[in-house]
Amino acid sequence: MAFVHPEKIKKLELIANDIRMSIIDMLEDAGSGHTAGPLGMADVFTALYFHSASHKPDDPLWEDRDRIILSNGHIVPVRYASMAHAGYFPVEELKTLRKFGGRLQGHPERIKLASLETTSGPLGSGLSQASGIALAGKMDKKKFMTFCLMSDGEMQAGNIWEAAMFASAHKLSNLIGIIDRNNIQINGMTEDVMPLESLRLKWEAFNWHVIEVNGHNIEEIIYAIDTARAIVEKPIMIIAHTIPGKGIKEIEFDYTWHGKPPTKEQEKKFLEELRTLRGKIISTHHE
Give residue-wise pLDDT tens across range 46-93.
999 999 999 999 999 999 999 999 999 999 999 999 999 999 999 999
For residue 43, give every residue at least 6 positions away whose Cβ sits within 8 Å of its Cβ, in sequence order, or none: 13, 16, 215, 216, 217, 218, 221, 242, 246
pLDDT of 7 above 50: yes
Please check whether residue 233 is in contact with residue 260, taking contact to mean a CB–CB distance below 8 angstroms. no
Residue 287 confidence (pLDDT): 47
Number of domains in the chain: 1
Flag whether 277 is in a domain: yes
Flag whether 1 is in a domain: no
For residue 50, what is the DSSP state?
I
3-state class (DSSP) for residue 106: coil
> Over the chain, what is the mean pLDDT?
95
CATH of the domain at 258: 3.40.50.970
pLDDT of 286 above 90: no
Flag whether 219 is in a domain: yes
pLDDT of 121 above 90: no
Flag whether 179 is in a domain: yes
In percent, the amount of the chain with pLDDT more than 70 equals: 98
Q: Burial, 205: exposed, middle or buried (Cβ in 10 Å; 0-12, 13-18, 19+)?
A: exposed
pLDDT of 29 above 70: yes
3-state class (DSSP) for residue 8: helix
d(CA 134, CA 208): 15
Host domain of residue 151: 6-283
pLDDT in tens, 91-114: 999 999 999 999 999 999 999 999
Please check whether residue 247 is in contact with residue 17, taking contact to mean a CB–CB distance below 8 angstroms. yes
Query: What is the arithmetic mean of pLDDT over 137-164?
Result: 97
Residues 34, 35, 41, 47: is their CA dihedral positive or negative?
positive
Is residue 1 very low, low, confident or very high in pLDDT (cuts 50, 70, 90)?
low
Flag whether 175 is in a domain: yes
Is residue 2 very low, low, confident or very high in pLDDT (cuts 50, 70, 90)?
low
3-state class (DSSP) for residue 223: helix
Say whether pTM exceeds 0.85.
yes
Please check whether residue 49 is in contact with residue 55, taking contact to mean a CB–CB distance below 8 angstroms. yes
Is residue 186 very low, low, confident or very high in pLDDT (cuts 50, 70, 90)?
confident
Residue 104, number of CB atoms within 10 A of its CB: 25
Smallest CA-to-CA distance from 237 within 157, 121, 135, 127 is with 127
pLDDT of 3 above 90: no
Is residue 44 very low, low, confident or very high in pLDDT (cuts 50, 70, 90)?
very high
Flag whether 173 is in a domain: yes
Task: Label residues 149-188 b or e (16+ Cβ within 10 Å = b).
Answer: bbbbbbbbbebbeebbebbbebebbbbbbbbbbbbbbeee
d(CA 62, CA 65): 6
Residue 30 confidence (pLDDT): 95
- DSSP H helical ranges for the chain: 6-30, 36-40, 42-47, 76-86, 126-139, 158-169, 190-193, 199-205, 218-229, 264-283
What are the Cα distances from residue 35, in Å, to 24, 49, 255? Answer: 7, 20, 10
Query: What residues pair up with 27 in beta bridges, in sequence order?
Result: none
Query: What is the arithmetic mean of pLDDT over 128-140?
Result: 98
